Amino acid sequence: MDFWAREDEAGARSRSFYLAFSASLVLAVIVFYFMMAVCYMAADLSLKWFIIPLYTGRQLWDIQVASLPAFIYGTPQRLLALRPILMVGSFIMAIILGNSLYKTRAIKKGGGAYIAAAMGGQLLQTPQSPKEKQLVNVVEEMAVASGLPCPRIFIMPKELSINAVTAGLDHEDAIVAVTKGALNHLERDEIQGVVAHEFAHILNGDYALNLTMAGWLYGLLFFSVQGRDMINTGFEIMDIGDDEPNLGALLVGLPMFLMGLVLWVGGWLGKLTAEIIQAAFSREREHLADAFAVQFTRNPAGLAGALKKIAAAPGQGAMINGQALIMKSFFIVSPAKLRELWRSHPRLSERILTLEPEWDGALPEVDYSALAPAEQARRLRGTENLSRAVILPKARSRLLERAGPLADHWTGTLVLGLLANGQPTGPCLDTARRLYAQIPGDLRAATSNPALAPALVAAVFIGDEPGLKARQLALIEEILGSGTADRARELKEQLSENQRLPLLGLTSPALQTVAADDRRRLGQAVKALVRADGKIDIFEVAACQILKKQLGLTLVSAKALAETSPAYLETLQGDVVTVLSILAYRGADSPGEAQAAFAVGRAHFNQWPPFDLAPPEVATSKDLALALDRLSSAPEKIKTALILGAVETALHNHRISPKEYEVLRALAAALEAPLPLRF
């Protein structure tokens, strides 16, 4: 199952979502229309409620309808008439659509960081506690293993339940946020399973639809979200003070609580329809993400252990932040009260049994007393609780029957985008963990420090030949300053060849916080460093592709890109030949072996006119840079065939060398596809 097939599927699901949203909007407007009329009539508390029916014999409903404003409902007032329905319905629709458009625009502008901040997340840049350092290590290992840019890490300090979430506009913008409860209560293999689950949503492109859903569903959820936040704020205000009642706090907090209650009750339909839509579009994605976590970590006990602790906790991952209702489908478990008919996530018991078919229903005893104050426990009251539950034999059998087919996801294709014969290309996470452990501490610290990341990026491009090295250091000093040049010299001494590309991927969060002018200068410095020796090698092509979005890098001039063949498909075919030929030559020990490897990749383009392996003097790194820039805008079907053909060409001799990995990494970065680590 390839990466772009996932994106096509996400596009189809997006179209279905818009249809469901439109139907829900019409239903919400109709119900809100009658609800507003009833609320207006109920607000009229005069004695006519009781006196007029006794003396006139008129029905109370008729009397109250007559109290509706005539300029909307006409004279005599009629509830079922076109004029009031259009006027009130338009007003309600304007509120819902206005809030949806506002939230959608804010999400597109702020991306993953906006989502994290809306839920009270705080960016983790410099880990302080052992648990924070452990989380950073796990996320960075996962990024190295998957070939994705390292996502930014956020902590939600006010959320004491166990939960985690991912969001982002694209791979570069992705974030991973965990609650304080998850950080404190999960062991390393458990947090690794949770992070792998969240990485699955990034790899599968789920974040795109999730962000679309979050923006548009905000309108339907607006009243419920605002009401819930006002209820919580009212409680907090009224809780101020000693044991004796605080009159001032009561006078402020009680009206806010009551107003929030009205909004929360009034928004029940929007909340209901939003939950149904989220359930319809996200439940199966959670099964796939669980399957990926097991495939990737090869440790089902890690994720199963985390889910068991969530099941044993009060509230089972429920969160107090009202914005979590909008982002419900982003989380590893639902952050709100669960309902059987419209769950956004499968039942915890079902997911655990899928991971551990022998599970007897027993849950761990976890001490939450140190982190669960009274107000947290009160807010979580009423949510589903499976603590110390033991599933009955018949119920367990039914769950196993339902969970059984999901195990097929573990033995089929790995949702990574780069596969060989439908099987994972290797134990990526184990390789990444060994490589990550070998990275010196100064280099790891530089990847997450905005002040040091530019020096690390520059150090990656410094050559080993003394004369070249001196010229490049002079360029760094000229463009970025003497301090950056000195630091780059120090970091260069600690760099090994196979660490360079993974380290560039880890700098993504830090580079996003660097000022735009500083990023522009860094991009200029990288170009100057690449051109310092008068040639471009494959590593430099790959490195510049990784940094392309962050620094606006391109090694190919606009003039060179414009000088293409008039025949578009002919140009694309030439670019495909260049990529496959370079891969074939870099992994072969003889011309015959190169020809055989090229033939394996060419098989994915049998529908094209026949083409042959390019001569070595034509398949150069400069040609590769030009080909990749053109292929980045190729149709997705061509991208799919090329990425699969490239992987099979590299795997022709049943291994991927570091030189082949550089070409594959450059190709994956150009096509914005993940690349598992294997060499």
Give DSSP secondary structure letters for 283-344. HHHHHHHHHHHHHHHS-HHHHHHHHHHHHHSTTTT--S-GGGGTTGGGBSS-SS---STT-S
Is there a catalytic annotation at residue 198? yes
Asked whether 482 and 455 are in contact (CB, 8 A), the reply is: no
Q: Enumerate residues 6+ apart whose C-beta is below 8 A from 560.
A: 626
Pairwise CA distance, residues 528 & 507, whole Å: 20
Asked whether 144 and 502 are in contact (CB, 8 A), the reply is: yes
Q: What are phi and psi of 167, to 5 degrees?
A: -160, 165
Pairwise CA distance, residues 394 & 399, whole Å: 9
Task: State which amino acid sits at residue 87.
Answer: M
CA angle, residues 117, 123, 127, in degrees to nearest 5: 155
C-alpha distances in Å from residue 403, one per residue of 352, 355, 593: 9, 9, 45
Which pair of structure tokens corresponds to residue 295? 């495939």
Q: Which of 640, 572, 604, 569 is nearest to 7 (CA)?
A: 640
> 423: which strand partners?
420
Which pair of structure tokens corresponds to residue 621? 């790194």
Helix (H) / strand (E) element for 175: namely strand 175-179
Which pair of structure tokens corresponds to residue 415? 């949702």
Which pair of structure tokens corresponds to residue 445? 């610290």
Q: Give me the half-sphere count of Cα atoms (radius 13 Å) on the Cβ side of residue 334.
A: 23
Distance of CA 539 to the CA centre of its chain: 29
Pairwise CA distance, residues 122 & 266, whole Å: 32
Provide the Cα torsion 317, 321, 325, 328; round to 10°: -40
Asked whether 182 and 160 are in contact (CB, 8 A), the reply is: no
Pairwise CA distance, residues 431 & 292, whole Å: 17
Q: Which of 407, 288, 273 is nearest to 341 (CA)?
A: 273
Which conformational region is residue 623 in: left (phi greater than 0), alpha (psi within -120 to 50 degrees), or beta?
A: alpha
Q: Which of 335, 227, 204, 212 is nearest to 277 (CA)?
A: 212
Q: Which of 7, 159, 198, 286 is catalytic?
A: 198
Residues annotated catalytic, as ranges: 198
